[in-house]
Amino acid sequence: MKAKRIIANCSFLSQLRVGLIVFIMLILPCRSLCQELPKTVPDGTEGDVLQAADTTKAEKLPWNMFDTSFTTIKLGAGFLYEYAGYTQNATGKRQMDSIGSELKYDFDVRDFRVLIGGQLKTKRTITWKAGFMYDGDAKEWYVRESGVMIATPEIWGSIFIGRTKEGYSLSKVMNGYSGESLERHMAIDAIPILGDGIKWLGYLPKQRIVWNMGIFADWLSHNQGFSTYSWQFITRAAWLPIHSEEKQTTLHIGGNFRIGQPEDNMIRLKSRPESNTAPIFIDTGTFSSNQGTFVGWEIYYNKGPWLFGTEYGWQMFNSKEKNDPVFHGGEVMMSYIFTGASRPYTTTSGIYTFIPVKKSVFQGGLGEIEAALRYSTNELNGGLIEGGRFWRITPTFNWYLSANLRFEFAYGYGILDRYSLKGATQFFQSRIQILL
């Protein structure tokens, strides 16, 4: 049986490699030729865009976009394949014994997603989107951001109805394929990745204020792993004292507020050490609480190829059982793009989006090359709970060979403070990212 499993795994990896090569050959030239779109509209809330429906007759459509009598249709896909390896000192290994798990190096499919969206041919701008993702960790399929986005200039923005990001934290709202690091910082693991509800996104250009506000409930996602709240209300607002697309410069100063009722009045906070194949490092265990309140701030500044950012937040829970614990954490980060590109900022969602690749390696260029550095921390000690504290410093190297293909390499060093011990772990991570 063991031999059969090994043969099956080898066969799967071979098929995966072949499929990966074919996928790259099919999509890379097309995306490079279609990078410059004439006019776009938002495709959801994570920074993606669609070619506007009123340009489809005059302009050539991208190869993965189609025009019908009542809507445009755009097809997309994404694929992440990654490696993670670890080394620990003796104290770190003792902590893993207490956790009841072991750090092992691993190659794994992180996720595979299929996307479809478009713009209805109506007088008011209305776009629609549906996403389906295979989660390599859970080995299951999930519905990702899916719904309709309705332009509402009467109230300075748009309304999204459906499943989407809640809107707390710039880092959390950003598309996971567009960030400077392999993983988001661990302090926002307490926030569900998605919610079902309605979200208002707005921007006042004269005042330079961007915001989102949403309310969500779990009537559709009750049995899904990400749904840990019966309902939640979120608002996020930021002031842009500096914002110039021409000069590629933005200063974003924002705040976040979130309140909600944990499902069944029970909650558990936990976090991996910013490595998807690693076990849970810090964990509150499940405790009773009828309300969770989150507050936090975020500051980001970019000028040309430079990007600097920081976020910090507090999570407060009503719990007589655990003496109303408060947990907290955040990050400080910086990145630099050596090839001169600048990560764009969109006022539609108040986030940074995908780095544009001027000349891909398939056109004789270098693509775009980026280096990043981050310090992150998360503390789950509060009230009568001792869930542990973990901090990590992570330099990352990103090579964007084209707008479709990205290689990522990261080294991490972190200290886990738990079980009255302080153990060290080194992380060695890499990823292949394909995005259509």
pLDDT reading at 221 higher than 70 = yes
- Determine which of 19-23, 102-106, 230-234, 432-436 has the lowest per-residue pLDDT on average: 19-23
Residue with tokens 């890379």: 28
Q: Show Cβ contacts of residue 149 under 8 Å, excluding neighbours closer than 6 positions.
A: 42, 44, 45, 126, 127, 128, 129, 158, 159, 160
Residue 208 burial class via C-beta count within 10 angstroms: exposed 0-12, middle 13-18, buried 19 and up: middle
The band of 106, judged by pLDDT with boundaries at 50, 70 and 90, is confident
Q: Is 131:312 a contact under the CB 8 Å cutoff? A: no
pLDDT reading at 292 higher than 80 = yes
Nearest to 170 by CA among 39, 297, 339: 297
In 3-state terms the chain splits into helix, strand, coil percentages (rounded to 5) of 15, 55, 35
The predicted structure's pLDDT at residue 219: 83
**By three-state DSSP, how is residue 346 classified?**
strand
Q: What secondary structure letter does DSSP report for 361?
A: G
Separation CA 214–CA 222 (nearest Å) = 18
What are the backbone dihedrals phi and psi of residue 234, each rounded to the nearest 5 degrees, phi first?
A: -135, 140
Higher pLDDT, 224 or 160: 160
Q: Is the dihedral of CA 51, 57, 58, 63 positive or negative?
A: positive
The predicted structure's pLDDT at residue 58: 64
Task: Give the CATH number, domain containing residue 208.
Answer: 2.40.160.10
**By three-state DSSP, how is residue 146 classified?**
strand
pLDDT tens-digit map of 121-146: 999 999 999 999 998 777 888 899 99
Mean pLDDT calculated for residue range 40-55: 86
pLDDT reading at 233 higher than 90 = yes
**pTM of the predicted protein model:** 0.89
Total tally of structural domains belonging to the chain: 1
Mean pLDDT calculated for residue range 41-60: 82
Q: Name the strand (E) or helix (H) holding 191.
A: none
The band of 28, judged by pLDDT with boundaries at 50, 70 and 90, is very low
Separation CA 209–CA 381 (nearest Å) = 35
Report CA dihedral (151, 152, 153, 158) to the nearest 10 degrees.
-60
Higher pLDDT, 310 or 105: 310
Strands 405-418 and 421-435: antiparallel
Task: Encode 86-101 in three state secondary structure.
Answer: EEECHHHHHHHHHHCC
pLDDT reading at 9 higher than 80 = no
The predicted structure's pLDDT at residue 222: 75
The band of 223, judged by pLDDT with boundaries at 50, 70 and 90, is confident
Q: Name the strand (E) or helix (H) holding 153.
A: none
The predicted structure's pLDDT at residue 1: 42
Average pLDDT of the chain is: 90
Structural domain range at position 72:
2-435
Mean pLDDT calculated for residue range 152-176: 96
Separation CA 335–CA 377 (nearest Å) = 18
Report CA dihedral (16, 18, 20, 25) to the nearest 10 degrees.
-170
Tokens of 234: 């979120």
pLDDT reading at 205 higher than 90 = yes
Q: How many CB atoms lie within 10 A of CB 322?
A: 17
The band of 185, judged by pLDDT with boundaries at 50, 70 and 90, is very high
> Angle at Cα 165 formed by Cα 162 and Cα 168, nearest 5°?
135
The predicted structure's pLDDT at residue 32: 40
Separation CA 103–CA 106 (nearest Å) = 9
pLDDT tens-digit map of 397-418: 999 999 999 999 999 999 999 9
For the chain, give me the number of helices (H) and strands (E)?
A: 3, 26
The predicted structure's pLDDT at residue 3: 41
Q: Name the strand (E) or helix (H) holding 5.
A: helix 2-33
- For residue 126, CA distances in Å to 58, 123, 214, 404 come to 20, 9, 19, 27
The predicted structure's pLDDT at residue 56: 65
- Determine which of 15-19, 177-181, 214-218 has the lowest per-residue pLDDT on average: 15-19
The band of 12, judged by pLDDT with boundaries at 50, 70 and 90, is very low
